[in-house]
Amino acid sequence: MSKQFLTALFAFLFLAPLSAQASLRVAAAADLEPLFPPILVQFEKNTGIHAEATYQSSATLTTQIENGAPFDVFLSADLSFPKRLINDGLADAAGSADSSTPITYARGTLVLWSRKDSQLPSPSLDLLRSLALKRLAIANPDRAPYGRAAVAALHSLNLYDALKPRLITAENIAQAAQFVDSANADAGLISLTSALTSRLSADGSYFVIPRDLYPPIEQGAVIVSSTRQPAAAHKLLDFLLSPAVQAELAKSGLTPVK
């Protein structure tokens, strides 16, 4: 065999696997989709570790991990789903002071959003009380933490029974935003991260739902127990909690924890 062939074979057998091992698979809640890609790009620039994210409702991602999906890190839109994985021995608390509690990496904000070309009044609590509101989009409360927050807010306002027949339920918060942006709903209770995207900022306006109307949306992170790259996974969570990234989260609609 030639020296060139042996060199190429060595690179294929040894160097390529090392490169593949540097790639992290991240299960990320749907509210992160508008803002997380550039954060992962910066993470790779800083560490040389490539990470790819799959965005779904927190419940869907939890089920996938329970069924053996090869994720390394789970970033949920609440604490209950990652805590369930910890309790089942499928994830660890990634260095949290309480081993049974996921790391809180941000807090979410619920808003009411509608299109600027809508014939309805501007978003407000009065809009939720208006009979002119025929279709209100929310994320599935059984699968998405923002959906649970929306239902809680409507109950707090004593509006849930009146609005229940008018609710249009999406699989996740990103789909709820899509429903209202595409005029398949008159308004939507969505995440501030969705409302602040360039598209929705151009197409509509939002009203921040008072935080005392729904339980805090504490977004939790865990490392999946089956990961083969725990050190890289820890680096990603450390990066997520760094002051610079926390500041970026704040610009994009998530309240920093530091």
Q: How confident is the model at residue 101 (pLDDT cuts 50, 70, 90)?
A: confident
Q: What is the mean pLDDT of residues 199-207?
A: 97
* pLDDT tens column, 32-81: 999 999 999 999 999 999 999 999 999 999 999 999 999 999 999 999 99
Q: How confident is the model at residue 12 (pLDDT cuts 50, 70, 90)?
A: very low
Residues contacting 205, CB < 8 A, separation 6+: 113, 114, 116, 122, 123
- pLDDT top residue among 16 and 71: 71
Q: What is the mean pLDDT of residues 85-100?
A: 78
* pLDDT tens column, 168-179: 999 999 999 999
> How large a percentage of the chain has pLDDT more than 70?
89
Nearest partner of 135 among 163, 175, 111, 173, judged by Cα:
163
DSSP letter at 258?
Answer: -
Beta strands at 110-115 and 204-208: parallel, antiparallel or unpaired = antiparallel
pLDDT of residue 98 exceeding 50, the answer is yes
pLDDT of residue 191 exceeding 50, the answer is yes
Instruction: Determine the Cα–Cα distance for residues 17 and 208; give it in Å rounded to an integer.
Output: 47
User: In the structure encoding, which two tokens stand for residue 232, read together?
Assistant: 């890289």
CATH number of 3-107+217-251: 3.40.190.10
Q: How confident is the model at residue 99 (pLDDT cuts 50, 70, 90)?
A: low
> Domain 110-208's class?
alpha beta
Q: How confident is the model at residue 10 (pLDDT cuts 50, 70, 90)?
A: very low
Which residue intervals of the chain bear CATH 3.40.190.10? 3-107+217-251, 110-208
- CA 232 centroid distance within chain: 20
| Structure confidence at residue 242 (pLDDT) | 96
241 and 102 Cβ atoms separated by less than 8 Å: no
Instruction: Determine the Cα–Cα distance for residues 71 and 90; give it in Å rounded to an integer.
Output: 11
User: In the structure encoding, which two tokens stand for residue 69, read together?
Assistant: 């999906």
